[in-house]
Amino acid sequence: MSEPAETGSQARTLWVSLPGEVARRFRPHADNLGKKILEAIQREVPEYAKPLEGAFGTVIIKAIEEAVIGSIDSIGGRPPGRHKWDELFREVGRGVHKGGGSLDSLQASYRVGGQAAWRYIASWGQRTGMPTPMLCVCAEAIFAVIEEISSYSVEGYTVAQTQAAGTLERRRRRLLDLLLATPPSPPKTVAATAEAAGWPLPERVNAVALQSPADRHHDDEPGPSLPADVLVDLESTQPCLLSANLERDLRLLQPALRGWHLAVGPRVPLAEAATSLRWASRTLQLVREGVIDAGPVVHSADHLSTVWLMHDDFLLAELTRTALGPLTGLTAKQQDRLGETLMAWLEGRGSTPEIAEVLKVHPQTVRYRLNQLTELFGDRLNDPAQRLDMQLALHAHRLRGTRPLDAG
């Protein structure tokens, strides 16, 4: 156990860089900010929707108050006094575990609380004329605090898990949770938990997202026998495993997991295992949606451009609006015809007869459509960067089976 920390190096450094006048002016808002944070957590994190009661509820409320007051006290170099956070937030983590709570929900509550704090402070800062650079420091400090207190709580939660685990299998399940936690768990905690679980720490791993057979009954079917050094969770809503020797393990896993679908994430340093799982899970989701062809094992590395293009609906909508905006207002049939012609031209940049052959239409039809595209897009068609944006947007919608823009 480390010695009690004060306000934390990175967060405290950021708060200290602000003028002390900010603390004096903001201090009357401390109680209201704490209430806003608690309300946001209870509103947005289902596990905390019910009123916080008893000893653990008291600890949660105290933790919020300490985070707010401790941050204010640090502004302008004020001494942190009694605001020593590490044990308090470890206690929060232990309390969540003792109460059967979820580590994911606990970390989600920290993220939600940080966002609520930033919204409140940003609004106050704008009303009071706080300079934008100061607001940026506030934002960075808030999320440094969230990262710090979250790591303490993850440590407390994990230690409680390890103490409660009575078998090697349970200890390894706890280790898997720790390795897949976001933000990353403290290295010392990972090392201690891995030692307790008898799992040598590898340098690099692949996360694998799993989908069980439709006819599998979780309650009455035992899990398959897997290699001892594979960390696995087959019972959660998102089954997954972690492998340090994927080539070897796939030879063993495929017979053991016959009927399952496996999506392999990229090979990454152990500390980035959660990132590997995120991309593996996204790849598996695209398999379910029919965007990526199904198979017993699918590697995200073989579908990087597809996974990337399908990752963010908002960014695709923005890319479509800016790159393909000239098609807005056309009928659905016009959009389809001009879109497929534009895509054929972008992909091949061939002659009119060659494009006609690809589209199975008359060359004169291609000339007519290309003239329309030139009228709509103008010089954009001569700009390599804008052509790339057009091609990416069209390709993403081809993968989705959607029309890029609302037809007029």
Is 3 part of a structural domain of the chain?
no
Last residue of a domain, one of 133, 164, 195: 164
Contacts of 299 (CB under 8 A, 6+ apart): 263, 264, 283
Boundary (domain end) residue, out of 164, 194, 212: 164
Considering the domain architecture, whether residues 125 and 261 belong to the same structural domain is answered as no
Q: Are residues 16 and 128 in the same domain?
A: yes
Shared domain check, 201 and 127? no
Local structure of 210: helix, strand or coil? strand
Confidence (pLDDT) at 3: 37
pLDDT at residue 180, as a whole number: 93
Which helix (H) or strand (E) segment holds residue 304: the answer is: helix 304-309
Report which residue type is found at 164.
A
Look at residue 238 and give its three-state secondary structure.
Answer: coil
- 130 and 254 part of one domain: no
The pairing of strands 231-233 and 240-243 is: antiparallel
pLDDT, residue 242, reads 95
pLDDT for 185 equals 87
How much is the pLDDT for 165?
Answer: 55
Please tell me the total count of domains within the chain: 3
Task: Evaluate if pTM is beyond 0.75.
Answer: no
Of 319, 368, 323, 363, the residue nearest 346 (C-alpha): 323
Would residue 282 count as lying in a domain? yes
**Dihedral sign of CA atoms 98, 100, 106, 107 in order:** positive
Domain boundary among 116, 138, 164: 164
Q: Given this model, what pLDDT does residue 9 score? A: 62
Residues near 226 by Cβ (< 8 Å), separated by ≥ 6? 232, 241, 252, 253, 256
CATH of the domain at 64: 1.10.490
**pLDDT tens-place values along the chain, 408 residues long:** 333 334 446 888 888 888 888 888 888 888 888 888 888 888 888 888 877 666 556 777 778 888 888 888 888 666 554 446 788 888 889 888 888 888 888 889 889 989 998 999 999 989 988 898 888 988 898 888 888 888 889 999 988 877 765 567 788 888 999 999 988 888 999 999 999 888 999 999 999 999 887 755 555 555 566 777 899 888 888 899 999 999 888 888 878 788 888 999 999 999 999 999 999 999 999 998 888 888 889 999 888 888 887 877 888 888 888 899 999 888 889 988 999 999 999 887 668 888 888 889 998 998 999 999 999 999 999 999 899 889 988 988 888 778 877 654
pLDDT of residue 23: 84
Rounded to whole angstroms, the Cα distance separating 405 from 330 reads 9
Whether 333 and 299 share a structural domain: no
Task: Note whether 292 and 148 are same-domain residues.
Answer: no
pLDDT at 276: 95
Per the structure, the complete domain to which residue 220 belongs is given by: 168-309
- Residue 2 belongs to a domain: no
